Amino acid sequence: MPLSDFKSALVTGASSGIGRAVVKELTNANITTYALARRHDLLQTLQDETGCIPIALDLRDRSEIDAKLTGLEVDILINNAGHGRSEGPLHSADTEAIYDMVQTNVSASLHLVRTIAPNMVSQKWGHIVMIGSVSGLHPIKQSVYGATKGAIHMLCQNLRIELLGTGIRVTEICPGRVNTDFFKTAFGDKKSKELLDRFETLEPNDISNTIMHALDAPKRVNITTVELTGTAQAVGGLQTGDAENAYI
């Protein structure tokens, strides 16, 4: 369906990185855009820049999702919020890190669809975009993060079947390494700089451009799964020993 047919959107993880870039693209396309994130100050700045409607919310809190999003009617859901933490091998991972990633990356995604999709079903059209990862499609040396993104991959696959006949499209975007604060949060300043400086990574606009292309596809077309990496990054291959480069 042409992009001009969409009237409203909800973007999670909107205060920085990919989410911020998507909000800018959507508002430039004259789509009323709700920008959701935890950091109210950054949302206020984004509102000043784009005219978006900020929603300060911690997606790990299901009661907040119910209180602030129930009844919100949007044509597009961009589920971008998510993060990784340097948990190390699963057998020695921090319990809080596991819980935090599962709540943010998986549980929140399920509850968002549960809350937002009913209006799309009733109006018989809409578009759900999930930000997955190449880490959800290929093995990496991060079991918990990879498992959460693998869950997003299967969620998208199953949603397409559940929503068949409703006119709702489901797109999964699976980026490789992107130049955002994600790695700083996951690994700290030193390691994140090393990972981002290793080669020319994707930029947030590369992902937002891909999302806009999927949204703008003709109504008969559902762009289901998109895997994209920097030209200098390839995922997969056989690794032996202590493979430090296994981090995505």
Give the domains, in start order, of the chain with CATH numbers: 3-246 (3.40.50.720)
Residue of 214, 193, 179 whose CA lies nearest to 25: 214
**Averaged pLDDT score across all residues of the chain:** 91
Integer Cα distance of 205 and 227 in angstroms:
15
Q: Is 99 a catalytic residue?
A: no
**Higher pLDDT, residue 1 or 30:** 30
Catalytic residue among 34, 99, 145, 247: 145
Q: What mean pLDDT is predicted for residues 60-84?
A: 94
Which helix (H) or strand (E) element contains residue 227?
Answer: strand 225-228
Other residues' Cβ atoms within 10 Å of the Cβ of residue 20 = 26
- Burial category of 142 from C-beta neighbours within 10 Å (exposed 0-12, middle 13-18, buried 19 and up): buried
This prediction's pTM: 0.91
Tell me the two tokens of residue 145. 């993060």
Q: What mean pLDDT is predicted for residues 82-104?
A: 84
The model's pLDDT over 206-226, given as tens digits with 9 standing for 90+, comes to: 999 999 999 999 999 999 999
What pLDDT is recorded for position 235?
87
